[in-house]
Amino acid sequence: MSQSTRGGLLRRHRDFRLLWCGETAGKFGASVTGVAMPLVAVSTLDANTFEVGLLSAAAWAPWLFIGLPAGVWVDRLRRRPIMLAAAAVSLLLFAGVPVVAWLGWLSTGLLLAVALLTGTAAVFFQTAYSAYLPSILEPDDQPEGNAKLHGSASAAQIAGLGSGGLIAQLAGAANGMFANAATFLVSLLCLTGIRHREPPVTRSGHRPATLVGEVREGLSLIANDPWFRALTLFGAASNLALMGYQSIQVVFLVRTVGLAPGPVGALIAATSAGGVAGAFAARRVADRIGTARATLLFELGLPLFALLIPLTVPGVGVLLFVTGGFCVCAGVVAGNIIKASFQQRCCPPDLLGRLTASTAFLSYGTIPLGALLGGALGTVLGIRTAMAVTTAGVPLAALILYFSPIGRTRDLPAARRPTSGSPPSPDPDDEHVLPRP
């Protein structure tokens, strides 16, 4: 039974509070690094546009190489120790960047290696984290938990992005990595303090015994389910466009618009405020108009404002960048909250790691491609034209949802899928099919 009547999760649930604190600290550090790493490449190493895009690609490339087996390993093992190990590795790697810079050994190749290795740790942490959350929260509390985690992550991103530019300007871009290293230390302490202990992992008799068989089972869950399939294909297309423009937005603001590093961080932080608004609105809008309709509103309606971003010019014109980015962030965060709650509710617990990893493999796998695409388009067509092409892809990607079952229903299904065999098509009684307005 849900304990929601006793107050909010952060007040009454100690383990969730620790998980929330650690994850919020991690998002703050990652946001600082998201600004500091490209600024190190641009201002210290004089990297070109393609090299900056390659740096962003390296951080996400591990999802393509180890994302699928990582999901199997997460389902085979306890999730919390995996998260602890990944956080410890990231702590050491990020702390090492400024040390190497002091020694005069910093190079673009070294930054690429750090991005690749920390990206690998992130694959295991994120997969384990997504599967771990439902184990400490009751089903009725999961929507609130997802909303709080996404909302606080967006708030931490605002603070991290805003301070990232200032840290880079005042202390040097490389020293900004210390902020991220410190947040992984906080994550380690918080995870260590969680009292909940997962039971030993048991393997069902029908479960494939091989790594390949278990990977196939996770992919089949997506391939055979129209809801998971539509959300995953949309995620792949959307991330291609999102990373296409986000990988070069620092270069766009510095070299095309002509801003200093400090204002760049402030502007990107302002756009991230949309994530807080999206987290606040997600559950309320979904309750009022339905989860499927809310998904379309957040993933198709709001991202139309992304078309304002490439029109940014110095002075008051920077408000176009803020407006477009704010709406995109609001839509992404709100859509992710609805999607996460749906997956946790409908996926069997012993398949959740593989669903998370398979979805991430397909959707996150396009992120390095988007980063390379942004860098290549910026080199060939020019930065502003590249921004126009990639931002236009953000709302276009949501047409996948519009022409899927999501576009013909009021609510996403609420029933859990079976653990064996191919997932069935949704029950018509769950679809609430309504004509398009």
> Residue 287 has what pLDDT?
87
Report d(CA 41, CA 50) in Å as an integer. 11
Backbone φ, ψ for residue 337 (5° rounding): -65, -45
Report d(CA 352, CA 121) in Å as an integer. 19
The residue length of the chain stands at: 437
> Residue 388 has what pLDDT?
93
Percent of the chain with pLDDT over 90: 14
Of the pLDDT bands very low, low, confident and very high (cuts 50, 70, 90), residue 154 is: low
Tens of pLDDT, residue by residue over 256-280, are 888 877 688 778 778 877 888 888 8
User: Tokens for 365?
Assistant: 């796998």
Mean pLDDT of 73-81: 80
> Residue 417 has what pLDDT?
53
Mean pLDDT of 400-425: 70
| Mean pLDDT computed over every residue of the chain | 79
Mean pLDDT of 366-386: 86
> Residue 431 has what pLDDT?
33
Of the pLDDT bands very low, low, confident and very high (cuts 50, 70, 90), residue 337 is: confident
3-state secondary structure of 433: strand
SS3 content of the chain, % helix, strand, coil (to 5): 80, 0, 20
| Stronger pLDDT, 426 or 128, i.e. the higher one | 128
Reference 362, options 72, 60, 56; nearest CA is 60
| Stronger pLDDT, 131 or 183, i.e. the higher one | 183
> Residue 415 has what pLDDT?
61
> Residue 162 has what pLDDT?
62
> Residue 258 has what pLDDT?
85
- pLDDT of residue 60 exceeding 70, the answer is yes
| Stronger pLDDT, 198 or 404, i.e. the higher one | 404
| Stronger pLDDT, 20 or 158, i.e. the higher one | 20
Of the pLDDT bands very low, low, confident and very high (cuts 50, 70, 90), residue 305 is: very high
β-bridge mates for residue 88, sequence order: none
Report d(CA 341, CA 134) in Å as an integer. 10
pTM, full prediction:
0.67
Contacts of 369 (CB under 8 A, 6+ apart): 57, 240
- Specify the range with the lowest mean pLDDT, choosing from 112-116, 177-181, 379-383: 177-181
Are the CB atoms for 276 and 151 separated by under 8 Å? yes
Are the CB atoms for 159 and 28 separated by under 8 Å? yes
Mean pLDDT of 355-360: 77
- pLDDT of residue 120 exceeding 80, the answer is yes
- pLDDT of residue 34 exceeding 80, the answer is no
Percent of the chain with pLDDT over 70: 85
Mean pLDDT of 332-357: 79
| Complete domains list, the chain, with CATH | 10-195+210-419 (1.20.1250.20)
Of the pLDDT bands very low, low, confident and very high (cuts 50, 70, 90), residue 428 is: very low
What are the start-end ranges of the H helices in 301-351? 318-346
- pLDDT of residue 430 exceeding 50, the answer is no
| Stronger pLDDT, 62 or 140, i.e. the higher one | 62
